[in-house]
């Protein structure tokens, strides 16, 4: 028994013939008859009977047709409730991000969506290995994820869009001899001790590319994922590090220098399950994230012109 079969039964009671129901529903009479037979299989008493050349409802058929009116009304209310929810401008939208993206995006997101007429972001930090980001879309409406420029795309089970393509610079102590150079090569830095991320996180692949270009094994002194901690360790002379240019806070004891000859750029992407954007509130937050990304990149452009 399904909603379409119940509607056919109701229309048969109202219109009085299979041909009239078929015309009203824009299908063939045989399609109507088939649906009535399928419905009859789930009901222990006859729903229709012959009256001359016509098929009409029995008393049981009339009783079920009357109940079908209530079913259609309930389904219509349910559809309207879902539509109202989907088009509601407010409501909670959950957003997860890895640490440096959270630091850069969360404060302006809260400021940009302040007020009762806007969605209410529910924010969470999720600093996971690259291959675990898609699974987070099960628990959050929107997920800010990172991957390297040349990394494989995200799986088709999630929808993705790039917010930023962010350069990765070499972070050095302010007094380091290499800080005087405007552009560094892999050979300049390959023999230095490195502060890098744990295995499975995108920046590690760039460290390996630097070492391969210079034909040397990387000297990994420390493994730290949190860039604010990395900056402190760099400033204290613990080694060099790769740091994103736009989404980490400046440190007075650290200078950033661009790196040539290797791909040193990461994507900050926003992931979500396709059905999440059926909600207007989620679409609003997604648009705000894109606007924030444009502002972040715009600040860098204005600073260099």
Phi, psi of 155 (to 5 degrees): -65, 155
Q: Quick one: 213 and 243 in the same domain?
A: yes
Q: Note whether 256 and 184 are same-domain residues.
A: yes
Range name among 55-59, 75-79, 189-193 with the lowest pLDDT average: 75-79
Tell me the two tokens of residue 92.
């909670």
| Ordered DSSP codes for 265-277 | EEEEEEEE-GGGG
DSSP-derived 3-state class of residue 23: helix
245 lies in the same domain as 296: yes
Question: Which of 87, 118, 140 is the last residue before a domain boundary?
Answer: 87
Residues 127 and 65 in one domain: no
Once rounded to an integer, what is the mean pLDDT over residues 237-247? Answer: 93
State the DSSP string of 180-207: G-SSB-HHHHTTSEEEEPPTTSTHHHHH
pLDDT at 184: 94
**Bigger pLDDT: 251 or 197?**
251
CATH number, domain containing residue 172 = 3.40.190.290
Residues 42 and 105 in one domain: no
Q: Give the tens place of pLDDT for each residue, 98-132.
A: 999 999 999 999 999 998 889 999 999 998 888 89
68 lies in the same domain as 100:
no
**Residue environment code for 16-41, b if the CB has 16+ CB neighbours within 10 A, otherwise e:** ebbebbbeebeeeeeebbebbeebbe
**Residue span of the structural domain in which 128 resides:** 92-303
Tally the domains of the chain: 2
161 in the same domain as 67: no
What's the average model confidence in pLDDT over 90-96? 93
Domain shared by 200 and 247, yes or no? yes
DSSP 278: G
Task: Residue 47: name the closest of 1, 81, 80, 106 by CA.
Answer: 1
pTM of the model: 0.71
Does 138 lie in the same domain as 7?
no
Q: pLDDT digit string (tens) for 264-285?
A: 889 999 999 998 998 889 999 9
The pLDDT of residue 157 is above 60: yes
Residue 304's pLDDT is what?
A: 41
Q: Per residue in 65-92, pLDDT tens?
A: 888 888 877 777 777 677 667 777 788 9
Contacts of 225 (CB under 8 A, 6+ apart): 99, 127, 197, 198, 201
> What pLDDT is recorded for position 52?
85
């Amino acid at each position: 028994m399904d909603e379409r079969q119940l509607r056919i039964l109701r229309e048969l009671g109202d219109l009085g013939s299979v041909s009239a129901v078929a015309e009203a529903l824009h299908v063939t009479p045989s399609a109507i008859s088939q649906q009535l037979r399928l419905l009859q299989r789930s009901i222990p008493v006859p729903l229709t009977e012959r009256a001359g050349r016509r098929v009409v409802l029995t008393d049981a058929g009339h009783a079920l047709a009357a109940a079908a009116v209530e079913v259609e009304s309930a389904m219509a209310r349910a559809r309207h409730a879902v539509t109202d929810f989907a088009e509601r401008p407010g409501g909670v939208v959950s957003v997860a991000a890895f640490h440096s993206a959270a630091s850069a995006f969360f404060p302006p997101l809260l400021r940009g969506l302040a007020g009762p007429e806007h969605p209410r972001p529910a924010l969470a930090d999720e600093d996971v290995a690259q291959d675990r980001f898609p699974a987070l879309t099960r628990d959050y409406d929107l997920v800010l994820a990172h991957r390297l420029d040349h990394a494989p795309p995200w799986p088709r089970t999630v929808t993705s869009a790039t917010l930023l393509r962010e350069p990765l610079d070499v972070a050095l102590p302010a007094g380091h001899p290499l800080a005087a150079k405007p552009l560094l090569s892999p050979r300049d830095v390959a023999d230095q001790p490195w502060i890098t991320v744990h295995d499975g996180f995108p920046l590690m692949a760039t460290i390996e590319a630097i070492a391969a270009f210079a034909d040397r094994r990387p000297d990994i002194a420390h493994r730290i994922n949190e860039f604010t901690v990395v900056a402190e360790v760099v400033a204290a002379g613990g080694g060099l590090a790769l740091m994103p240019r736009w989404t980490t806070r400046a440190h007075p004891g650290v200078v950033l220098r661009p790196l040539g000859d290797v791909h040193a750029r990461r994507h900050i992407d926003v992931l979500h399950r396709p059905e999440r954007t059926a909600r207007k509130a989620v679409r609003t937050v997604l648009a705000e994230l894109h606007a924030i990304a444009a502002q972040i990149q715009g600040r860098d452009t204005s600073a260099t012109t």
